[in-house]
Structure 1
């Protein structure tokens, strides 16, 4: 899958988090990687000043780090998106 750096693709990733037990927030902060994951509280914080491309790359990294599984979601579109993301590697 080729990652599309569009607002629509960002919305799909945000919907994935909305369907999960994690809360996604955009805040300002001094995160070395551009994001912070508070696993105990199930909160993901992304630097709100990141570009669209930076936000998408950070979300894809987090999805892989958290190990979301397609079977954990009831929505078929989210399952398909996760399967595609699992086969994708970011090239920075």
Structure 2
């Protein structure tokens, strides 16, 4: 997976299509993110660089309740890639 802004946008699309709102805020996040589950809001540390944002989203997405059927075909493929990478490292 390439470390580009396009990749970040595609990962954010997976979350957006599943009803999550992605926000970038200042804060002292230990892992670079926090999740407000009741409101489906993902807050990422705005000071993360591009690589950090991608790695954080790749770590976060498998932990969330993503409705695969709501995703577009492109997002479904990207989601499957993320899950495969997660399972390979687990």
TM-score interval for Structure 1 and Structure 2 normalised by the shorter chain = 0.7 to 0.9
More helix by share: 2
RMSD: 1.6
Q: Under a length normalisation based on structure 1, what TM-score does the superposition of the two structures give?
A: 0.85
RCO higher in structure (CA 8 A, sep ≥6): 2
- Structure 1's consecutive aligned runs of 4 or more residues displaced over 4 angstroms after TM superposition are none
Which of 74, 78, 81 lines up with 2:75 in the alignment? 78
Q: How many residues align?
A: 88
Where do 5+ consecutive residues of structure 2 fail to align? none
What are the superposed Cα offsets for residues 56-82 of structure 1, whole Å, 9 maximum, x if unpaired?
111111101114242342x11111111
Q: Is the partner of 1:21 in helix, strand or coil?
A: coil
Where do 5+ consecutive residues of structure 1 fail to align? none
Between stretches 13-22 and 50-59, larger displacement belongs to: 13-22
Q: Under a length normalisation based on structure 2, what TM-score does the superposition of the two structures give?
A: 0.87
